[in-house]
Structure 1
Amino acid sequence: MTAGAALALTEARDLRTGTVPWREKDWLPPATGELPSRDVDIAILGGGIMGAILADRLTAQGRTVAVIDRRAPGTGSTAASTAQLMWAMDVPLTMLAERLGEREAARRWKRVFAALERFGKHLDSIGGDLKQDSPTLYLAGDLLGPEALQAEAALHCRHGLPSRFLSADEMAERYAIAPRAGLVSTGTYAIDPVRTCHALLDRALGRGASIAYPVDIAALHPSARGIELETEDGRSFMAGNVILATGYERARLFLPDAFSLLSTFAIAAPPGTAPLWNENAMIWEASDPYLYVRASRDGRIIAGGEDIDVADKDTRDRLLPGKAGIIAAKLAAMLGKDKIDWERAWAATFGSSPDGLPAIGRARNMDNLWIAAGFGGNGIAFAALAAEILDASLREKADQDARCFDPYRFEND
């Protein structure tokens, strides 16, 4: 099968609106180069955090890699991420266990936990202070109340996932927030997503990778040598394998409809506002709609949520002022404050899946084509997972957990 001109290879979207807390004047993306003049082992379509993590991992294994993006790397959805790296999913473990059984649900969570732990150690080994360790607080809400959170904590502990339950009074005393029962989990951290993306791409380029942008790949043509990638303006090059790391600009020819799009909203307080609670904890709610909160390295409070099941840019942008106000009010209530001022607000396209887990694996309808779609609430953690699974697959080594994240796992639901 070829990706013909009648249907674009990937969607083209305005992925974010507003002002993000990462200073755009400090962004130092790698300089663009030319399309490869020789065959490469792997072409990665997408130069965001997913593509960067993949490029770093795959070049470290000695592969020749070309990264292609239609915009400057890291400036799409990556720049809109609040970059809380957690191993807990949007679908609680107790709820996933009801669907899959406890053993299978825990298997998926434990693999994400392990991938996130390994990625954190990798960032530490790179240096440059790329990550900030902090615990995660998961507060009782309308999705999971105190008793349900106790059951969630027990299930975490039974499978070696580091969480413990605290009562409302214990949570308020330890973390200086409004009293609410919750889980405290460790093994989580935060990053500056754009800075980390660029650092990983620089490492890949140092090993001989190439990067070209803005370049739009219009079609993929299978051949005996792999896949020919054809640009919108008629140029082409060959790759033995292609990885679709196009984020929330879906490759609809290959990614099943179960992986859907929505919109999310966020605000950031001025620098120096934090800390207003203890231990630099990341906080989120077992609620729908939820609120999540963290502090950045420069003392901003970053809060977001209020997702809507609409990915239309005009609708998203129209709702941004009102959603920002709701998030600010919820934030103040969570922290037990009368008011918290904010100076930046943004909206972004976001992806979800029925089980809160990503799409990682071989595309069924084209040989040598792979999908790395971090849909769900943990996109950067899922990128670390995708790098492990696809690295093994490309080396034809079995990964015992690969089927858990197969893009076509919902076909019989």
Structure 2
Amino acid sequence: MRLHAGSLYWPSTYSDSELYHYPPLAHETKRTTAVIIGGGMSGITCGYVLANSGIPAIVIDQRTIASGSTSANTGLLQYSNDKMLSEFIPEFGEEKAVKFYRACMQAVEQISIVVDHLPNDVDFKRRSSLYYASNEQDVLSLRQEFDTLHKWGFSVEWWNADQIANKFPFRKAAALVTQGDAEINPFKFVHAMAQTAHFKGLGIYEHTPLLTVESRTGGGFRVITSQGVIEAEHVIYAVGYLPEVARSARIRFVMDRSYAMVTSPLPSLSDWHQRFLLWETARPYLYLRTTVDNRIIVGGLDESHREPVLTEQELHIHAMRLLSELHHLFPSLKPEIQYQWCATFGQSSDGLPWIGEDPDRPGQHFCLGYGGNGSVYSMLGAHLIRDRLCGIDNEIALITRLDRPVSQPASS
């Protein structure tokens, strides 16, 4: 299955000479504590966290590191979710919902800590986010979200229409400004984590497709690939938007597709207050960010189709719509589209990622960061799985567990 189509920006920021390549498994039997299936954001983050914790692990990927959904990730790191805290509370209760939001905020901080220990610059920048009301009808729910975040000690400001217009060349009825967010180059980040973890003992094998996972007599698993066998005590599925690889009925999801475009570098972005991350209350929502070389990334226009578009013409039509939305917000800017793509993404109906041990198959774990916060969920999931392997109780695991009640049936 194709996960994206079009011209991707992030791989262009890394030359082939800079990439660290990993061999396939050499038709042999390896032994380790954990096998991680998938070398994208979730898989490599898991590998990095396990390697840092002294847990032997191996990552396998059927293609190359970061070549799947990670390449189409737009690199926004926000603790606020597609579902607001005030929407989580009626479903999970105040205590659980607040703990989950705080865990997401902590995950952003953990990403910052990882970045500080990487050998390469991954274009990580701390940013605030402007979450604006798409229309007057959304102001009331946005105000409720502000009151909820403020009550629980999150760093948030309420901006009225005049305050927004004073900082930006557009006017919206109201907005939340949240601090503690960030942006990153996800392609550079995953490759830098992989290289660092590899030097610390993480085994990484590219071009090594998974064939099947067999239980061993006496415990553990035989992970059979096209290139050899790995024997392990645990299997971690970090397979992104290919959940069928894990063969679990527990994972309930909806697959959609989204669009993104990246402009050519602009001479100035002085109208863009402090390079805020921008997004809106409408669903599906528009979101925007800048890059270190003065480009603008715009994403959105989500559609209920699993496969990316098939033609360049159809893709360009959507990219032009995104460019039009950019012009509405920043009319003085005259950018050109340089990259455009369409990508598959998955969502759970309750807005939570699927992270934890499969209750039907002990020893097999999932790290699926479905939703708009995939990179943040990946870091959260890596620590939850590390804690599980170490026998440490983590209360967030009760929230993201695979056997939580979810009303929506499995779908694709």
TM-score, scaled to structure 1: 0.91
Task: Tell me by how many angstroms 1:225 deviates.
Answer: 4.2
1:144 and 1:259 map into 2 onto residues whose CA distance is 29
Task: Tell me by how many angstroms 1:341 deviates.
Answer: 2.8
After superposition, the Cα gap between the structure-2 partners of 1:196 and 1:39, relative to the gap in structure 1 and judged at 3 Å, is: same
The answer as to 2:391 corresponding to 1:396 is yes
**Match for 2:221: what amino acid?**
I
The answer as to 2:258 corresponding to 1:270 is no
1:403 and 1:318 map into 2 onto residues whose CA distance is 46
After superposition, the Cα gap between the structure-2 partners of 1:411 and 1:394, relative to the gap in structure 1 and judged at 3 Å, is: same
Match of 2:253 in 1: 259
Contact map agreement 2:349 2:406 (CA 8 A) in 1: no
Task: Tell me by how many angstroms 1:334 deviates.
Answer: 2.2
SS at match of 1:254: coil
Contact map agreement 1:274 1:301 (CA 8 A) in 2: no
Among residues 320, 326, 330, which one is paired with 2:325 in the alignment? 330
Matches within 5 A, 1:330-409: 330-337=325-332, 340-409=335-404
After superposition, the Cα gap between the structure-2 partners of 1:288 and 1:412, relative to the gap in structure 1 and judged at 3 Å, is: closer
Match of 1:91 in 2: 83
Contact map agreement 2:2 2:307 (CA 8 A) in 1: no
After superposition, the Cα gap between the structure-2 partners of 1:143 and 1:44, relative to the gap in structure 1 and judged at 3 Å, is: farther
Contact map agreement 1:48 1:75 (CA 8 A) in 2: yes
Task: Tell me by how many angstroms 1:147 deviates.
Answer: 2.5
1:361 and 1:70 map into 2 onto residues whose CA distance is 23
TM-score, scaled to structure 2: 0.91
**Match for 1:22: what amino acid?**
W
Among residues 299, 303, 311, which one is paired with 2:306 in the alignment? 311
1:327 and 1:138 map into 2 onto residues whose CA distance is 18
- The C-alpha deviation readout for 1:336-374, integer Å capped at 9, x for no partner, is 447643221101011111122210000123221100000
Contact map agreement 1:135 1:186 (CA 8 A) in 2: yes
> Which runs of 5 or more structure 1 residues have no equivalent in the other structure?
1-12
Task: Tell me by how many angstroms 1:222 deviates.
Answer: 0.9
1:391 and 1:203 map into 2 onto residues whose CA distance is 18
- The C-alpha deviation readout for 1:20-76, integer Å capped at 9, x for no partner, is 222435254432235364311111111111111111110111121111001110011
After superposition, the Cα gap between the structure-2 partners of 1:348 and 1:136, relative to the gap in structure 1 and judged at 3 Å, is: same
Name whichever of 213-222 and 123-132 sits farther off: 123-132
Match of 1:228 in 2: 222
Name whichever of 125-134 and 203-212 sits farther off: 125-134
2:334 and 2:9 map into 1 onto residues whose CA distance is 20
1:107 and 1:336 map into 2 onto residues whose CA distance is 40
Calculate percent identity across the aligned residue pairs: 25
Match of 1:47 in 2: 39
Match of 2:93 in 1: 101
**Match for 1:330: what amino acid?**
E
SS at match of 1:170: helix
Contact map agreement 1:51 1:67 (CA 8 A) in 2: yes
1:394 and 1:375 map into 2 onto residues whose CA distance is 22
After superposition, the Cα gap between the structure-2 partners of 1:125 and 1:30, relative to the gap in structure 1 and judged at 3 Å, is: closer
Match of 1:3 in 2: none
Task: Tell me by how many angstroms 1:400 deviates.
Answer: 1.3
**Match for 1:193: what amino acid?**
P
Q: How many residues align?
A: 400
1:317 and 1:98 map into 2 onto residues whose CA distance is 43
Match of 2:212 in 1: 219
SS at match of 1:304: strand
Task: Tell me by how many angstroms 1:238 deviates.
Answer: 0.5
Contact map agreement 2:359 2:402 (CA 8 A) in 1: no
Match of 1:30 in 2: 20
The answer as to 2:142 corresponding to 1:152 is no
Task: Tell me by how many angstroms 1:129 deviates.
Answer: 3.6
**Match for 1:50: what amino acid?**
S
- The C-alpha deviation readout for 1:168-218, integer Å capped at 9, x for no partner, is 110121244444421101111111111110000011110112111111101
Name whichever of 101-110 and 387-396 sits farther off: 101-110
Matches within 5 A, 1:163-178: 163-178=156-171
Supply the RMSD in Å over aligned alpha carbons.
2.1
Contact map agreement 1:356 1:377 (CA 8 A) in 2: no
Match of 2:71 in 1: 79
> Which runs of 5 or more structure 2 residues have no equivalent in the other structure?
none
Task: Tell me by how many angstroms 1:143 deviates.
Answer: 9.8
Contact map agreement 1:178 1:333 (CA 8 A) in 2: no
Match of 1:115 in 2: 107
**Match for 1:254: what amino acid?**
S
Contact map agreement 2:46 2:382 (CA 8 A) in 1: yes
Contact map agreement 1:90 1:377 (CA 8 A) in 2: yes
**Match for 1:147: what amino acid?**
L
